[in-house]
Chain A
């Protein structure tokens, strides 16, 4: 079914736009150039000529808002869920409003939630963390103990649910990057290396695997290779400089950099050390990748490089011709983002986006393309390339090797169709 196509003329112009500076003005997406400024209005703007309330009367004093919250005009910037996805909200997911955010850090209250037994509300004085199994001595730590350990660290890491974009395997389903890509967030964590605690308990030489367990009513468990646990996993109590939010595992969660979000056990209460994986429900029934031949990959921990254009996107359409800012996010579980390319003609031609802000390993990375839009239809895509040389595949390339039943690890290139009226849609192209 072909509903729309870009004319050859458009494509030619776009290609020229990408290829040579001389052709940019004619392209749908040209590098921002000097525009024609609007003349003064016939009548002056009353917002300027009248004294506004906020400029006349006193506002709230200090302590009217002892814990600040966003402006009343930002009420629409919230996590959202898709009700039909799950049978109960206690085992469900909501999504980060990526199209409303900028930079690389996700505000704590907007980080998507995924619970399997609702939010455990735990008094930190009643929380315990146990290390047992193949250790010299099984140990118990309080939250205060954890905060007394030497070697505290700070890191920004992305957390992506393995099922992010999982609804899109069979085709474009959800119209908005919040829903197609919003199971990711990026937070500054403070805590101590898991290795510190394992050293304290003394791991036996035959140890090979760890089991991380949560204190919530799902008793969430995941097997984690010991090597990963010793390399860069953290036990954290702080996100973005303050205590973890309850929905993110207060008082203590595990951080497993670059690996699928389900392993980052929240409300972390126990680490067992063993010599084999446990094959828990979340690594057999769930979080295994069913391929076309009916067999399944297991222990697909690493999140492959991925990116998405957050603006424009279906929830953030283009509203103006002339200067516009295209922006998006890229990330890789294998390290740093090396480069991000952007296409406006459905992947025929690419150009490298400008990255701004820190490029950190296993962290969201922000990219921009500043452009002039002349009202032409666009097929916008982005393509992340990480420092290992992995290039984000197209959805079709991914389907070719995985089929459409794997639910998890869909990192295929997203296409947004921007129509002449600026409306933007999630589409599949062929």
Chain B
């Protein structure tokens, strides 16, 4: 089919469909000349369909609970270390341990300072998390595990204060409020930088990867998963025919 024939067909189709109450969405705004119809398929300017509805302010308030490091999104409220301790011991300690040390394999919430370069890094609010807002946000949206979004804002302030206390970030007398929220610096705030793999790992882009004699020596086995033996349902050896 020639180009002009295609354009003609498209235009005819458009007219035909419009006649039956069906409009091609991409071509809806005007009734352009045949040439413009073809072009419209390539440059689709943002266009509203009218689908969906506007949100009610109360709906947005109910769901938009994300908190930013600068405090944007924090609700009014406050809570003390003392009050936080009470709630923590009844609602959190069973999993996270009385002092945030983690019961069994449940997550550790406190300690680990100075561990990041070691064999066993422990990533807590005190040792690793760059921002306090993450604790408030996460506890409010996801904890206690299995009964999420059941805590009041004041309770979340109090629990956040208590987790700060467990991490030696504030004294026992501390009370956390929306107003003083960003005033306590987090020890590891400077410990993060944006992904730089494309520069620092530039060597991994290699136009001529080695194909022959790539290692000077015959490889030796230095470690075996079977020795560690943690794989579920390991199978015994096969029979070779």
Contact = CB atoms under 8 A, between A and B. Distances in A.
Interface of A: 1-8, 11, 15, 18-19, 80-84, 86-88, 90-91, 116-117, 130, 132-133, 137-142, 145, 148-151, 171-176, 179, 199-200, 202, 211, 213, 217-219, 221, 269-270, 272, 274, 276, 278-281, 284-285, 288, 290, 292-302, 304, 314-315, 317-321, 341, 345-351, 375, 379, 383, 385, 388-391, 393, 397, 401, 405, 415, 417, 419-423, 425-430
B194 A284 contact: no
A389 B238 contact: no
B222 A296 contact: no
Given A346-B218, A417-B224, 15 more contacts: A3-B221, A4-B220, A200-B52, A279-B131, A284-B129, A288-B192, A292-B117, A295-B193, A315-B235, A320-B241, A341-B209, A345-B218, A345-B219, A350-B214, A391-B205
Interface in B182-206: 191-197, 200-201, 204-206
Contact of B148 (A219, A278, A350, A423): A219
Interface stretch (B83-91, B138-146, B151-159): B138-146
Interface stretch (B8-16, B65-73, B173-181): B65-73
B232 A173 contact: no
A199 B47 contact: yes
B51 A148 contact: yes
B109 to A, nearest CB: 10
B4 interface: no
Contacts of B142: 116-117, 217-219, 281
Contact of B191 (A211, A296, A349): A296
Given A217-B142, A280-B66, A290 B204 contact: no
Contacts, number: 299
Nearest to B124: A285
A422 B219 contact: no
B43 to A, nearest CB: 14
Nearest to A423: B237
Nearest to A76: B233
Contacts of A390: 204-205
Contact of A86 (B105, B121, B133, B196): B105
B91 to A, nearest CB: 15
Contacts of B195: 297-302
Nearest to A295: B191
A339 to B, nearest CB: 9
A299 B49 CA distance: 34
Contacts of B64: 132-133, 270, 272
Contacts of A383: 209
Contacts of B104: 87
A292 B133 CA distance: 26
Contact of A294 (B107, B117, B222): B117
Contact of A117 (B49, B148, B210): B148
Given A2-B220, A299-B194, A314-B225, A145 B52 contact: yes
A15 B212 contact: yes
Contacts of A281: 134, 137-138, 142
A5 B221 contact: yes
B130 interface: yes
A80 B232 contact: yes
Contacts of A138: 54-55, 59-60
A130 B211 CA distance: 52
A97 to B, nearest CB: 12
A379 B133 CA distance: 49
A321 B240 contact: yes
Contacts of A423: 237-238
B51 A200 contact: yes
Interface in B25-49: 25-26, 44, 46-49
Nearest to B186: A284
A285 B220 contact: no
B92 to A, nearest CB: 14
B212 A19 contact: yes
| CB-CB nearest 4 A-B residue pairs | A346-B219, A150-B25, A219-B141, A428-B223
Contacts of A429: 219-222
B76 interface: no
26 contacts: A2-B220, A2-B221, A15-B212, A80-B233, A86-B105, A87-B105, A116-B142, A117-B145, A130-B63, A139-B55, A171-B228, A174-B230, A217-B146, A219-B65, A219-B148, A288-B192, A290-B123, A296-B192, A296-B193, A319-B240, A319-B241, A347-B214, A349-B211, A350-B214, A422-B237, A426-B226
B20 interface: no
Contact of A211 (B60, B66, B145): B66
B231 A174 contact: yes
Given A218-B142, A341-B211, A425-B226, A388 B205 contact: yes
B219 A18 contact: no
Contacts of A276: 68, 70
B69 A279 contact: yes
